[in-house]
Amino acid sequence: MGFPIGASQHGESHRSTGPDCDVLDIYPLSCYYFGSTDAVPWKNETVADRTLRMKANYDSRGMRNCVAGVMLVELFKHPHLLLLQIRNSIFKLPGGRLRPGESDVDCLKRKLSSKLSVGEGSCAEWEVRECLGTWWRPDFESLLYPFLPLNAKSPKECTKVFLVKLPESRRFIVPKNTRLIAAPLCQIHNNAKTYGPVISGVPQLLSKFSFNIVEP
């Protein structure tokens, strides 16, 4: 299920490039500080309750527009994806819903600060890079798809996944009832049963990159 944030080993610095690959620098997990703050309450709702809430929000606001961030670290000489784990069973990329008139990048910076760096600093400290992919929810009951089906005339949700480049070091602060874990890409790949369709598709979205593990 991934590794809880804590002590880690350093990987060797290396660079592996292909003719059509972009190089992405990633740093060892041990470069980062992880702490916690007061717990936040979670919604206790059934699937039916969630569907009703989505319908009500759609009627009042229209299609739900969301963003999510992909952040990588090195652990055991392998790239790992940072994920939020809720109730020991739900995995999420950090992110959330756009406010009216808010840009994708501004929303993602705001959400990263509110979810991963509670009380720690400005939204401007996050380096949001390119959009890796876009996912669609054709109706209220369906899962997210990496394409918009032809028969979906009025999609209910659009989620854009962005690469977020981490600096050499930073502090992560999350609520006590949320875990921040590092999951290896090889474990996530095509594992929709555990991680859901979006997270399990991230390794494929990252296939254009060559990872350069930087030893501080």
Find the Cα–Cα–Cα–Cα dihedral 126, 129, 133, 135, rounded to 10°.
30
Q: What is the pLDDT of residues 51-101, one digit of tens each?
A: 999 999 999 999 999 999 999 999 999 999 999 999 888 999 999 999 999
- Three-class DSSP category at 158: strand
Residue of 129, 57, 133 lying closest to 97 (CA atoms): 57
Long-range contacts of 16-23 (CB under 8 A, 24+ apart): 16/210, 16/211, 16/212, 17/210, 18/210, 20/208, 21/208, 21/209, 21/210, 22/208, 22/209, 22/210, 23/209, 23/210, 23/211, 23/212
Q: Rounded distance, CA 185 to CA 182, Å?
A: 9
Q: What is the pLDDT of residues 161-200, one digit of tens each?
A: 999 999 999 999 999 999 999 999 999 999 999 999 999 9
pLDDT at 5: 56
Q: Name beta bridge partners: 182.
A: 3, 82
Question: Sorting pLDDT into bands at 50, 70 and 90, what band is 30?
Answer: very high
Q: What is the pLDDT of residues 99-123, one digit of tens each?
A: 999 999 999 999 999 999 866 666 6
Task: Give the domains, in start order, of the chain with CATH numbers.
Answer: 23-40+65-213 (3.90.79.10)
Q: Name beta bridge partners: 117.
A: 173
Structure token pair of residue 124: 């401007």
pLDDT at 75: 97
